[in-house]
Chains A and B, each alone.
Chain A
Amino acid sequence: VEPHGPVCKLLHLHLIMEVLPTYMDVEHSRAYIDQLYSNDSHKCFQAVSELKFAVIGSVREKGTIIEQGVVVRLLQILRSSELDILLKTEVVTVLNSLAKGLPEHASSLVQAGLLPALWEQIETCAGGSGTSAYTQMILCCLRSVYRQGCAPPPPSWDHKLLTTLIQHGYHPPSNQECVANILAHACKTCEQQQQLVDAGGADLVACMLCSPVSRVQLPALHCLAAMCYKNERVSSILATKSYGGKAVPDLLVGLMARDRPRDMQLAAATSLTFLHRAGALSADDPKIIFKTLQCLVRMCRRDREVWERVEAANTLAYLTEVSTELQRTAAMTDHLIHTMNDYLKDTTSSAGASAPQGICGSPISCRQYDNPSTWPELMLEAALKVYASLGANDEDIRQRVIKTDGLMNTIVTSLSAACPAVQLAAVRCLHSLSRSVHTLRTTFQDHMVWRPLMTVLKTSSSEELVTVASSTLCNLLLEFSPSKEHILDQGAVEFLCGLTRRPHPGLRLNAVWALMNMAFQAEHRVKVSILHHLGTDQIFRLLSDTDVHILMKTLGLLRNLLSTKGHIDQIMQCHGKEIMQAIILILEGEHSAEVKEQALCILANIADGDMAKNAIMSNEDVLKKLMNYMVIPNVKLQIAATFCISNLIWNVEEGAAERQNKLRDMGVYKLLQNLMTTTDTALFDKVKTALQQFH
C-alpha cells in the first residue's frame, strides 16, 4: 500500500535524495524507462521500482511519465499472465501514484484503459484473500482514479464484479475505505443504485457506518447518499437496514452529532436528507425536522468553510423544497434568512483565497470547489436556492424573504448572470416569490422583473431553466399582475405559442397555462393574437396530448378565450367549425369526467354568444350529447350540461322561443322536470333557472 500522509512523502523524498547522486545521469536519460521494456523480469522490476520513486510526490514527474506513454507498457505488464505478482503490485503502486496527481493525469490513465485492466485483475485474484497486498493496491488505485471524479462509472455493473468488490469492503479498513469511495463515485444512475443494493451494498454500508475509522465512515456516508439519491426503492431498503442493533437512520444521527468532524456531520445530514426526499423518512420525523435540519442550518454559519456553507445550503434547499412544515421550521431556525443574506454579500471576500486543500465533499459536488474564484457564485446560487425553498408555500416567510436587504436586486442581476446555475437559482427564487399576490402587485412591478425574465426565456437553451421561468411567467400573467401588459408587449404570445410545440411536456404545460392566464378577461386583440399564433391545428394537437394536464389547460384556454358575448361571437365566426370539432372530439373521447366537464363548460360559454348559439343549435348530435350528460350519474357533468341548455334558451335573447321549442320537442323540458327531484342543491338551482326560461 502506498503510504499516505506527509511523513511518508517525506520518507520517499528522503529516499530519492539518497539515491539521487547515482541517478543523476539516469535522471536525464531516464534509462530505467528502457529497462521497463526488458523481458528480464528482474530488470523490469528494478525499473518499475525506480519509476515509483520518481513519480511519488512529484506532479511534474507524473505528467512527464504519462506523456512518454509509459502507461501503455505498465498496463501490458499488468495484463500479462506469466509475470510475477510482486512486479504487478509494484506496477499498480506506480499507477496509483500517477492517479493521485492532477485530474488530467487520472483521466489520461482512464483513457489508456486503466479501469478495465484493474477490474480484470480484481476478478482474477478474487479467489485469493482480500488482504493480499496486490488486491489492496488495486483497490487503492481504483479509489484514486474515482476520487478524481473523471472516471465514468460503468454504465451498468457486472454483478459478479460488484459482488467481489462488496466482499472486499468488509475488511481491512484500508480496503473498506477504497471500496466505499469507489462505490460512492461510481453510483450515479437509478439502475446502478438498484444493482448495488441487489449485490448487498446496503448491508455493507450499514457495516461501514459502524467502523471505528472515520476514513471509512465518511466515504460510507457518501456512498449511502449516492445510493439513495432520488431512489425510493433503494432508500426504503436502506432505511430499514440495521447493524449492531441500530437502524441506519439512527446510525446516521449518531454520525451527525455536534462533536463529530464537520465533514462527517454534513455527509450524514446529506444522507438523511436524501432518505427523506426519497420518502423513506417523513418530514415530521425528529431525525429530519430536528436533527438534520438543525445540523444543516448550523453548517451554514459564518464560521464554517466556504465549501461547507455552500454544500450545507444546497442540501438544506433540497431538504425543504417540498414540505411546508420544514420550510416554517427552517425559516425560524438560527436566523437562517439572515444568514443567507450573508451569502449574497460574500461575493468579493473570498476572491483572493488560495486553493483549498483536502476538501472532501460528496461525490456529487466532486471538484466543484477547486477554484476559489467561483466561490461567490456558488454561494449566491446556494442562497437563492434556499430562499426559493423557504418561500415556496408560506406567505409570511415569503414576505420575510422579500424584505431581505438587497435580495430583489440580486435576483434581478442574477437573472442575467453568465453562469446558468446562478440563473436557474434566481428564477427558482423568483418563482417561489411570484406565488404572492402582494409581491406580484408591488415588488415585482417595482423591480420590473419581467424584463430579465423574458430575456432568459427567449435566450436560454436550458430546458430546466425555461421550465421554471415559464412557470414564473404564468404567475406574472395573472390578470391582477401589473406586469401582464409589459410581458405582452415583449412578444410573449408568439413565444408561448412556440413553446407549446416543444417536445418537453413541462414546457408545453407551462406554455398553455401561461396562455390560459393571459387569455383570462383579456382584450379581444390579445385573444385574436393567441388564436392567430397558436393556430387551430396546434389546438387540436394539444387537445390530443397524452398529458392530461396539458389537455385540461388547453380546454381552460378555450374557455377563457370564449368569454363575453362579443368575443364569443367573433371567435366563433372565424373558428367555430374547428372549435366545435374539438369539443366533440373531447366529448367522444376516452376522458375523465373533469375533462368532459371542461368541454361542456366551453359549450356553455359558446351558448352564451348571440350568433354562436347557432353552432350548437344547428348540431343535433351535440344537443343529444348534452341531453345525455344531463342524465348520467355525475352531478358536475349534469350541472355543466344544464347550464349550457339554460344559456341556449335564455329568455330575453333573440330567437329564444325558437330554440325553446326545438329543445322542448327534443324532450329537454321533460328532462329538466325530472331533474327537479335531485337532492343536489347546485344542480337543483341550475335546473330551476333553466325551467324558468321556458314559456
Chain B
Amino acid sequence: KMATSSGRCSVEPPLFGPHTGHDPIKALYPMVNEEETPLPRCWSSKDKYSFIGLTQNNLRVHYKGHGKNHKDAASVRATNPIPAACGLYYYEVKIVSKGRDGINTDMPSKKKNGDVRMSPVNPGLRDDLLPEFVYMGIGLSSQGVNMNRLPGWDKNSFGYHGDDGHSFCSSGSGHPYGPTFTTGDVIGCGINLIDNVCFYTKNGHYLGVAFTDLPPQLYPTVGLQTPGEVVDANFGQAPFVFDIGEMMRESQCRVRTTIQNFPVPDTYGQWQTMLHRMVSTYLVHHGYCATAEAFARSTSQDFDEELTSIKNRQKIQKLVLGGRLGEAIETVQQLYPGLLENNHNLLFMLKVRQFIEMVNGTDTEVRGVSRSPSRPPTHESSPSPPCWSNGRTTDPVPGTSSTPPSSSTTSTPVIQQHTSVIQSTKNVISSGQTSASPVTTEELNQRNAQDLRASSPPSATNGTTPVIHLPVPSGSSSSSSSSSSTSSNSSSNMHDSDTEMECMEANSHHLQETNNSLGDTSHSNGFSNGFSKDIDIQDDENEEAMEVENSVGSRKMCGGNPDAIGRMLAFGKEVQHMSQVLRRELGKNDHNKKILQDAFSLLAYNDPWNSPVGWQLDPLQREPVCQSLNSAILESHHLPRRPPLEICVAHTKQLISLMSRSGIGSCAFASVDSLLGSQQ
C-alpha cells in the first residue's frame, strides 16, 4: 500500500500547482472538504445590508444608499465562512471606483513642509497630489454582526479602512496600520488559520499582520459608505496580485518541519525498528510472501506467522478476488477447519458473494459447465510472474480517460482490449452470439469507468465457445475498436498477478475513500492498466493461443449457459435457506438481509450489469469480502485484523479530518498523501 499511495501521489497534481482541474478556488485549498465546509465563492445576496447591490455573479459590490454619514454604512458577507482546513485563506478586492466623497477637500492639503532642495544628495520632490481615498472597509466578520456598519466597528468584526489606512479590531477607533487606498488599488485580506492572524496586502505588497487571536468561522466582508463606490472581489477564481502560493509553500514547509522535529519520548524513539516492523507486517498481512521473506532477511526480523500460512492466505485471496468463491470456501474449509463453521455471518457473506459471482458467470460452479475438460482449473492457477508492479508505475493521471499508456501499444499487438481485460474475457463468455458489432475503445473505456467490468472467468472460453481467430494487427491503434482479444490462457495465467493487483487496489481504494476524493477516479484507471501489462507479457508468451472477440455483445447471466443458470438458482435456494437458518439461530440481522436482497435483485433484470443493482457485479466488490475473510483467518490465528501500517495511515488521515472539523488550520498542510509523495 505504501507503494500504491506514493505511486498515486506522483500523478496527483502538485499541491499548489498552477491548476487542478477547472476549479481554481478548490485548487487553492485542497484539504477542504467542501461537503462539510463549503468555501466562500461569492458575496451573499441574503447576508447584506439593503444599501448594498450585487452584480456580476455576486462578485461586484456597489453602494446604493444615501451615504451621508457613517450611519449609512453597509456591509456584505461572503456566502460561507472560511473553513479552518484552508490553512491559509486569502481574497482580494479591487477598488473599481471611489465614491463622490472620495476626494477629501476639507482636509488641509497636506502641509508640504520638508523636501527642500538643499542637501548635497539630491532629495526627491513629492508629487503634489491631493490625498485620495475611499470610505470603505475590507475584512472579516462573524455571522450575525450588524451589516449596517463597516467591518471592524463591532465585536467579532475586523477591517482595514481606506480613508485613513487604520485597522479596526472590533472597535470604533482604529490603529494606524497601512497606507490609504483608492480607485485602482487591489487590497488583499489573508487569514492564517494556524496562527489565527489576519494580514493585508496592497497591490501585491505585504502590509503585515493586522489582527491576532481571531475567532473561528469568519466570513470575508466588505463595507461601503459612499454612493458610487464599487468593488470587485476575487475569491481565487482569478489569479491574485499577491503571491499567496509562495506563502502557502512556506506554511507547508513550516508544518512539515514542526512534524519532523516533534519530540518523541525515548521509549518510542526506536523508529527504524518500528518502521521495519510495520512494513514487514504489512507484507505478511497481504500475503506478499517472497517480498516479506526478503525484507525480513535484510532487516533481520521474524514473522509472527508461518510461511505456509501466508501462502495459504495468499491463495485464498486470489480465489476470492478472482471471483471463484466456491473454490475459496472449499479451500478455507480445508485449510482452516472450523473457521467458517464458527463464523456464520462470514460464511453467509461468502455464499452471497458466490451467488453474485454465479450470476456474473465467474464462479467455478457455473464456469465449470463451459470449461473445456482438457484444461483443469489447477492448470490455470499456475503462478505467473507477478508483474503488476510495472503497470502501476504507468498510471495515467486520474480523471483522464483510461486510454492505454502508449508504452504498451508498442510492446504488443493486443492492446486495447486490456482497457478491459476483464471485459474482453467477458465478451468471450457471451461469444455464443458473436455479433460483430464493433465497439470502440472509448466505449470500452467508458464502460470500465462505469465499473461495468464483468469479472473474467479465466479460460472459460477455451475450446468450448466459438471464437474467431484473427490476426491482430500489430500496434493496432487504440482508436481502432474491436479486436478486444486475449488469450484465454493469458487471462487465466495472469490470475495470480491479477488478484494481487486487485488486492492492492482494494486496499488503496479504501484508504483513498477515507480522505481522498481524487482516488476514486484514478482507481479504475490504475486497475485496468495494471492489467494491461500483465496481458501484454502473457500474450507474448502465448501468441498461438490468441483469440479475438469481435464484440462486446450483451452479457448473459451465468455466461448464458442454461445449466449454469439452473445451478445458480439451486444455489440461490440454498443460500436463502441458510439465511433462514441463520435468522433462527442468531436472530435478525439487517446486514445479512440486505445483502441477500440485493443479490437476489440481480435476477429481476435481463441485463443485471446495467441494472440499479449492477454495482454488485463489479469485481471491486470482492475486495471487502476478501478483506473480511483475510482478517477472520488472521484473527483465528490471533493476529491483527488489519496491518499496523494501514491502521497508522488511516489513523493519521482520520486525525487530520478531525483537525479540520475542530478548526485547526495546520491540517491544510499535513496531507498524508503529499507527505508521502514528497519523499520520493
Contacts and interface: CB of A to CB of B under 8 A. Distances in A.
A35 B204 CA distance: 69
B337 interface: no
B114 A259 contact: no
Interface residues of B, number: 29
Given A259-B249, A437-B116, A471 B121 contact: yes
A478 B118 contact: yes
Interface stretch (B205-213, B353-361, B639-647): B205-213
B207 A435 contact: no
A435 B125 CA distance: 11
Interface in A318-339: 324, 329, 332-335
A438 B110 CA distance: 13
Given A257-B249, A324-B124, A510-B120, A436 B114 contact: yes
A293 B179 CA distance: 17
B126 interface: yes
A474 B116 CA distance: 13
B423 interface: no
A472 B123 CA distance: 13
A409 B123 CA distance: 25
Contacts of B252: 259
A557 B383 CA distance: 105
A330 to B, nearest CB: 9
A297 B208 CA distance: 10
Contacts of B111: 438
B205 A333 contact: yes
A436 B118 contact: no
Q: Give the interface residue-count category, chain A.
A: 35 or more
Contacts of B123: 392-393, 435
Interface string A449-486: 00000000000000000000001101100100000000
A509 interface: yes
Given A437-B113, A474-B118, A329 B126 contact: no
B14 to A, nearest CB: 12
Residue in A332, A333, A517 whose Cβ sees the most chain B Cβ within 10 Å? A332
B118 A395 contact: no
Contact of A475 (B118, B126, B178): B118
Contacts of A513: 120
Interface string B87-125: 000000000000000000000000111111011110110
B206 A334 contact: yes
A259 B250 contact: yes
A434 interface: yes
A254 to B, nearest CB: 11
A447 interface: no
A495 interface: no
Given A258-B246, A324-B124, A435-B114, A474 B119 contact: yes
B208 A471 contact: no
A510 B120 CA distance: 7
A398 interface: yes
B202 interface: yes
Contacts of B121: 392, 431, 471
Contacts of B540: none
B243 interface: yes
A372 B207 CA distance: 31
Interface in A240-266: 257-259
A439 B124 CA distance: 17
B206 A395 contact: no
B113 A438 contact: yes
Contacts of A399: 114
A646 B406 CA distance: 96
Residue in B112, B119, B123, B207 whose Cβ sees the most chain A Cβ within 10 Å? B119
A390 B472 CA distance: 77
A393 B114 CA distance: 10
B253 interface: yes
A258 B205 contact: no
A294 interface: yes
Contact of B179 (A298, A332, A472, A475): A332
A329 B111 CA distance: 22
A290 B204 contact: yes
B460 to A, nearest CB: 53
B274 interface: no
Given A334-B207, A437-B113, A393 B253 contact: no
Nearest to B249: A259
Contacts of B204: 290
Contact of A439 (B114, B119, B205): B114
A431 B123 CA distance: 11
A290 B119 CA distance: 30
A434 B119 CA distance: 8
Contacts of A329: 205
B118 A332 contact: no
B545 interface: no
A285 to B, nearest CB: 13
A471 to B, nearest CB: 5
A298 B254 CA distance: 15
Contacts of A435: 114-116, 118-119, 123
A370 interface: no
Contacts of A610: none
Nearest to B177: A335
A395 B247 contact: no
B250 A258 contact: yes
A431 B209 CA distance: 31
A294 B206 contact: yes
Contacts of A545: none
Given A332-B202, A334-B208, A395 B114 contact: yes
A297 B199 CA distance: 15
B440 to A, nearest CB: 40
Interface string B504-548: 000000000000000000000000000000000000000000000
Given A258-B247, A431-B119, A332 B207 contact: yes
Interface string A420-437: 000000000001001111
Interface in B217-276: 243, 246-247, 249-250, 252-253
A394 interface: yes
A436 B179 contact: no
B120 A333 contact: no
A471 B178 CA distance: 32
Nearest to B126: A395
Interface string A224-244: 000000000000000000000
A687 to B, nearest CB: 29
Contacts of B209: 335
A431 B204 CA distance: 31
A475 B207 CA distance: 33
A478 B118 CA distance: 8
A436 B119 contact: no
Nearest to A297: B206
Contacts of A335: 207-209
Contacts of A517: 118
A465 B34 CA distance: 63
Interface string A601-631: 0000000000000000000000000000000
> Which 9 pairs of residues, A with B, have the shortest CB-CB distance?
A258-B250, A395-B114, A393-B124, A436-B114, A334-B208, A438-B113, A259-B253, A335-B208, A259-B249
25 contacts: A257-B246, A257-B249, A258-B246, A258-B249, A258-B250, A259-B252, A329-B205, A332-B207, A333-B206, A334-B208, A335-B208, A393-B115, A395-B115, A395-B126, A431-B121, A435-B118, A436-B113, A436-B114, A436-B115, A437-B114, A437-B116, A471-B119, A474-B120, A478-B118, A509-B120
Interface of A: 257-259, 290, 293-294, 297-298, 324, 329, 332-335, 392-395, 398-399, 431, 434-439, 471-472, 474-475, 478, 509-510, 513, 517
Interface of B: 111-116, 118-121, 123-124, 126, 178-179, 202, 204-209, 243, 246-247, 249-250, 252-253
Given A258-B253, A434-B119, 11 more contacts: A293-B205, A294-B205, A298-B206, A324-B124, A333-B207, A334-B207, A395-B126, A435-B118, A436-B113, A436-B114, A437-B115
